[in-house]
């Protein structure tokens, strides 16, 4: 149960931090010298890097370049994102 709760937490955090980066990326494209946005981007990126590591351990690799495995290809471990399976713990 604890494992499921942790997986739900990292899924939510990854979605939130990634979205913050998506938003900052577009803002910085039209405001490339904005110091507040640059500082926010650096802060969110560091937090996201940590969450990506936790996500890989609890759910699976989110990006192909992190995929691998000892005895099976972990890229296929989690369901594809359009599948309903594995989404019970995702908060809208």
Partner 1 sequence: MWSYEKRLQFPVRITHPNAAAAKVIITQYGGPDGELGASMRYLSQRYTMPWRGVAGLLTDIGTEELAHLEMVSAIVYQLTQGLSADEIKRQGFDAYFVDHTTGVWPQAASGTPFDALCFASKGDAITDLHEDLAAEQKARTTYDNILRLVDDPDVIAPIRFLREREIVHFQRFGEALERVKDTLNSRNFYAFNPSFDR
Q: Which residues make up the interface to partner 1 (CB under 8 A)?
A: 11, 14-15, 18-19, 22-23, 25-27, 29-32, 60-65, 75, 78, 80-82, 84, 87, 90-92
Least Å distance, CB 40 to partner 1, is 16
Output the CA angle 7-17-58, nearest 5 degrees: 20
Q: Residues 6 or more apart from 88 whose CB is under 8 A from it? A: none
Tell how far CA 46 is from the center of its chain: 12
Least Å distance, CB 26 to partner 1, is 5
Least Å distance, CB 70 to partner 1, is 20
């Amino acid at each position: 149960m604890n494992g499921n709760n942790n997986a739900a937490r990292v899924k939510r955090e990854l979605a939130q931090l990634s979205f913050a980066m998506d938003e900052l990326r577009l803002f910085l494209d039209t405001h490339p010298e904005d110091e507040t946005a640059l500082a926010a981007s650096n802060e969110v990126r560091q937090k996201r890097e940590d969450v990506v590591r936790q996500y890989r351990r609890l759910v699976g690799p989110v990006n192909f370049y992190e995929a691998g495995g000892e005895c099976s290809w972990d890229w296929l471990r989690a369901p594809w994102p359009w599948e309903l399976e594995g989404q019970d713990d995702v908060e809208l």
